Amino acid sequence: MGDSFSLLLLGTPELAVGGRLVRIRSAKTRALLCYLATTPGARSRAELAGLLWGERPDANARGSLRLALSELRKDVGGWLDITRDHVGFRADDGCFVDYRQLTRDPTVAGALRLWRGEFLDGLSFGDAPAFAGWLECERRRARLVLRELLVRAGPAASEHVVRLARIVTELDPYDEEAHRVLIASLARAGNRAAALACYEELRLRLARELGVGPAPETRALRQDLTPRPATARRAALPVPGSELVGREPDIRRLRALLSRERLITLSGPGGIGKTRLAIAAAEAGDRDAASLSSTGTGKHDTASPSSVKPGEHDAASLSSADVAFVSFVGVRAEAAVTTLARRLGVDLSPPRPAAELLLAALAGRSTLLVLDNLEHLPSFDGVIAEILRVAPGLRVLATSRRRLNVPGQVIVSVEGLAESAAEALFVARALKARPGFDPEREAPLVAAICAATGGLPLAIELAAGLLRAVPCADLAERLGVDTGLLSTAGPAARSRHASMRTVFDTSWRLLDPARRAALAALSVFGGGCTLRAALEVAGTSPEVLVHLVDHSVLRLTPSGRYTLHPLIQQLAAAHLEDPGVRERHARHYAGLLDRHATALQDGSDAEVVRVLGAEMDNIRLAWRVSGQPRFLDHYWTLCLRLRLYEESVAIVREHLDRPPEDLRLRARLLRMAAVSSHQLARERAATRLARAALDTLGEPLPTTRTGLATALLTAATRQAAHRLLPVPRTDEAEAAQALTLLARLAYHQQDLPVMLVTSLRQLNAADRGTDPALRAESYANFAAIARLAGRHRIATRYGSLADQALSGIDHPDEAVHRARLARGIDLLHAGRFEDARRSFTEGRLRTIDPRVAENCAGMLAETALWQGEFAAAATGYAETEELAVARVGGDDIGRHWCLTGQAEALLRLDGVPVERIRELLAAARASHERRRTHAKEIGLRDSPASRTIQELRLLTIAARLDPARAPAALAEALTLAKRLPTVQPGMLECWTGLAELLRDAGQHRTVAPLLLGHLSRYAARNPGAAARIGWALALIMVALGGRRQARRAAEQAMATAERLTAPYDHRRAESLARALG
């Protein structure tokens, strides 16, 4: 039993032994193993025989059980205890059964990782009622586990909670409590349109199928979904580890200033206590807000509008604002804007400049922003000025050693502590360091030490921490205090910087060589480090780190990270002598990225973003030292995962500016820059960079129509040769990647010649290359193009090649996720709806590319529309439209497509207000017009065919809303249809709707034959549309007077609908056939 055992029961059962898939031939033998693996303890042979073969005579049932056990012995014998009377499953180490894990109190994330579908999906036997009863019971149990987990989690702005809620509501579409969790979670995540669509789908289902309305709690939740301005997430104030001493007057002064000024800068040297003072002032505001909230006192209770001068903020309004704290310690200038945006929870996924997204999120906010440590970021001053301009209700409290270059600021110079406050701080910290410390006896020495520190709080705290190892008198002596100065006159004052250096040097001399080396080495980190990083990079031990923490030079945060105060870090860095430390730092973070490289490519792995996101400052520093292409690959991918698109462009361009290296590497960098530009919706730049990558490889893409025609013929000839002759393997990965990006760009721009040339050349490059993921993608792309062109045999052939290639890939890869999208499109048009849905779902879940995820979401809605699941289609379109509308100035066709799709889906549902559909139609028209008028601005180049399809769909929806317009609409539609290309995406409901309008049109003999030809050609190229187009053709035949032909067409549509599992189309076709007698 040395081999591992894995049995997946959630979804279609899968068995692996020793990492190898095992196919059990008999379905009932598979069912027997599943039952044994799920049911604890040994089971009697009589029970097992009756479970699966109870309808047979006893002797036959026992014989069938023996045969099944014989087969199981061969495949999994080591995992079964088989005796004369009983059979049991050994759930030992090395055994994994997903259903067992699900029933052991999992987390939401854990349950989602396990869930692939219903328990034993697709497994059933008509002649085994006992097994059927057990199976139904276990399915209910699995559903109950998920439901209880969802209810326990409650609504949250979490992708995991939303996914779980969708699963639970799909399993039980009448479960209102689960729907409420889903609706509330979508709303909290900012996806209001999807929340509304979810509510509407539930309302219609309850009314149509149960004759009831939603519960009061559900209706109340719907009332809460009123439009609200987007808000930034509060970046919580840090929790200080100790009380603030001696700054009460300063806090009162700051609060008074904050009530009337919009920008206050706390200025002073390092270690003076600027950060701690800013936090205390902001904390006071939070306490005021809590007090006002608890007493019910608001802004107008404190002052009338006339009592507040223009530009001032009364105390209550100040207290009611949120407070957000953002530290810029270790943040480089190019990352300042994204750091602020991410800490405030601003969504950086839209491909627009981060500064623009930040300003949009803060506009209209009444927030107190505490911006800490700005001295090294002079270029950020302009951003602060712009924030204050666009957000009149927002104020900024900044800390900096320099004056900010922002008009209208108030400078507050933070001074050292007064004598009494300094001594009180030293005593408070000394008592923590040495509980037996006697302040009264040591008072003269305390006064001398505090004077020697110049009242600098950081120096005082550091000095007090030394009392763990040094008596007070010795400490005073080590600090250079002349005992002759311990008189009434008091010691002479030093400069604050000299005081801090003196205290630090004293601490430094008290450390042994190992601790000194560790402290100096720790200065290379940015934003702190983990224990593992500290040990590897500093080459130290946990004991040394404990000692440094005890002596207050190193801090261990509640999250488990070690950090240095910036001033201590600066002073320690001056003692760094080992040149290998920075190289070890770079190697450590290169290794960290390498260890997470696979997870980085998996969009469903949120943990890797959390782990690596916390190390971004260190990764940036390590990149400066490393400069290796592999490091850059991972760093760039991490930027994409974190939506730091501008940073991803900057780091690649920086490498491109270096002296030319290997041409393939340069082509790779150009292609990476193109992908980053594509995410920012800079389509022209993306196209130019991708073409430059091909130029670098010596494979330029023609720019003229003649050149493209020649390239198409050449590529087609080579592909035919590849299918007949052995293909020599070469490294064609970069060419294939650049070509696939150009093909995607051409698809969005409806540039058919470029799309065909790039797809065929990508196919040839992938055939010659060694990357199976790129080969799978190229096969899937070509299959989809062939299917849309009506070349079904070719499409099926290349689709099979794609599936074979995908089945051999067991690691996440972006090319695989793009292949899933392309495979889904082919499968949808072929009528394999469930396979298409699985492919789109997998692609959406795993991709790290937001545009691919958006496309997959839209195609899931399209799949629901084709299969007649119109409520689900409307919901899916609404979700995708939310993604698209966030990218204002980006790929606006996504918004148009989804608005139009929603309207088409809702036209098929009963009880939907006509005004709602009219609103969607108006919004779709506005989006279509914006796309036309802003094409150059947003980098679009629509083809005439794309515009024609959009106009036809809008025209047909309008006529279906107003049947009186049917005659004119049909005539105009058939005129437009003359300009349609062979490939007609999105036209299914348009053609069907035009056929339905015939009964209101008149002049059937003129219009019907033309429409019949269009629909027949469309059905021939789109087998998945055959059921709906089938009954639409029957309607046209009725209009032409051919009732017999119409009946045959309706009956054929019924058969097709049954084969495609399209109940809606089956009902429509059946109703029509009955009416035709």
Q: Which domain holds residue 491?
A: 419-510
Predicted pLDDT of residue 231: 42
Residues 391 and 423 in one domain: no
Of the given ranges (136-145, 279-288, 578-587), which has the lowest mean pLDDT?
279-288
Residue range 983-1016, pLDDT digits in tens? 778 899 999 999 999 877 766 678 899 999 999 9
Residues 404 and 268 in one domain: yes
Report pLDDT for 86.
Answer: 93
Asked if residue 117 belongs to a domain, the reply is yes
Of 413, 436, 464, the last residue of a domain is 413
What span, in angstroms and rounded, lies between the C-alpha atoms of 413 and 274?
Answer: 9
Residues 188 and 90 occupy one common structural domain: no
**Looking at the domain assignment, is residue 677 inside a domain?**
yes
Mean pLDDT of the chain: 84
Kind of pairing between the strands at 86-89 and 43-44: antiparallel
Shared-domain flag, residues 79 and 196: no
Angstrom CA distances, 483 to 150, 442, 463, 476, 496, stand at 70, 13, 17, 8, 21
345 plus 469 within the same structural domain = no
At 301 the pLDDT is 33
Instruction: Tell me how far apart the alpha carbons of residues 766 and 734 are, in angstroms, rounded to a whole number.
Output: 10
Calpha distance 642→640 (Å, rounded): 5
Contacts (Cβ under 8 Å, ≥6 apart) of 408: 262, 263, 388
- Which residue is associated with the tokens 């094409």? 935
Q: Is the pLDDT of residue 500 over 80?
A: no
Residues 195 and 287 both lie in one domain: no
pLDDT of residue 96: 86
Same domain, 287 and 399: yes
Q: CA 889: distance to chain centroid?
A: 21
Instruction: Answer left, alpha or beta for residue 502, where phi above 0 means left and psi between -120 and 50 means alpha.
Output: alpha
Q: CB under 8 Å to 239, separation ≥6 — which residues?
A: none
Contact between residue 861 and residue 828 where contact means Cβ atoms under 8 Å apart: no
- Asked if 199 and 97 sit in the same domain, the reply is no
Please report which confidence band the pLDDT of residue 487 belongs to, taking 50, 70 and 90 as the band edges: very low
Checking if the pLDDT of 659 tops 80, the result is no
The reply to whether 480 falls in a domain is: yes
Taking CA 376 as the corner, what is the angle to CA 370 and CA 382, rounded to the nearest 5 degrees?
A: 65
Contact 969, 955 (CB under 8 A): yes
Q: How far is CA 37 from CA 97, 214, 277, 798, 1055, in A?
A: 7, 41, 62, 39, 40
Which residues touch 300 (CB under 8 Å, ≥6 apart)?
Answer: 316
196 and 113 inside one domain: no
Using only C-alpha atoms, the chain has a radius of gyration, in whole angstroms, of 35
Any idea what the CATH number is for the domain that residue 378 is in? 3.40.50.300
Closest CA to 281 of 416, 398, 401: 398
597 part of a folded domain: no
Q: Would you state the pLDDT for residue 264?
A: 94
- List pLDDT tens digits, range 904-943: 999 999 888 999 999 999 988 888 887 777 666 655 556 6
Q: Report the number of distinct structural domains present in the chain.
A: 5
- The pLDDT of residue 488 is above 60: no
Q: Same domain for 389 and 252?
A: yes
Helix (H) or strand (E) holding 528: none
Residue 294: predicted pLDDT = 40
Concatenating the DSSP letter of every residue in 372-406 gives E--TT-GGGHHHHHHHHHH-TT-EEEEEESS--S-
**Is 960 among the domain residues?**
no
Phi, psi of 96 (to 5 degrees): -130, 120
Q: Sign of the CA dihedral 145, 151, 152, 157? A: positive
The enclosing H or E element of 88 equals strand 86-89
Residue 528 lies in a domain: no
Give yes or no for residue 46 having a pLDDT over 90. yes
Residue with tokens 């695989």: 816
pLDDT tens, position by position, 392-448 = 989 999 998 888 999 989 999 888 888 889 899 999 888 887 888 888 888 989 988
Same domain, 54 and 169: no
Domain boundary among 81, 113, 139: 139
Asked if residue 453 has pLDDT above 60, the reply is yes
Q: List Cβ neighbours of 9 (8 Å cut-off, separation of 6 or more).
A: 34, 37, 38, 97, 98, 99, 119, 120
What is the CATH classification number for the domain harbouring 74? 1.10.10.10
Position 123 scores a pLDDT of 85
Least confident of 142-151, 494-503, 650-659, 971-980: 494-503
Residue 459 pLDDT greater than 90, yes or no = no
Residue 698 lies in a domain: yes
Q: What is the pLDDT of residue 816?
A: 93
pLDDT at 302 > cutoff 80 = no
Tokens describing residue 591: 């290794």
Residues 351 and 213 in one domain: no
Is 467 within 8 Å of 439 (Cβ atoms)?
Answer: no
Quick check: is 753 in a domain?
yes
pLDDT in tens, 766-817: 888 788 999 999 999 989 888 888 889 999 999 999 999 999 888 888 899 9
What is the predicted pLDDT for the residue at 309?
Answer: 39
| Percent of the chain whose pLDDT exceeds 70 | 88
pLDDT tens digits along 596-631: 998 888 887 878 888 998 899 999 999 989 888 899
pLDDT, one tens digit per residue, over 683-724 is 788 899 999 999 999 999 998 989 988 988 888 888 777 666
Q: Residue 922's CB: how many other CB atoms inside 10 A? A: 12
Residue 989 is predicted with a pLDDT of: 94
Q: Which of 728, 748, 770 is the last residue of a domain?
A: 770
pLDDT digits (tens, 9 = 90+) for 85-129: 999 998 877 788 989 889 887 888 888 888 888 899 888 888 889
User: Residue 527: helix, strand or coil by DSSP?
Assistant: coil
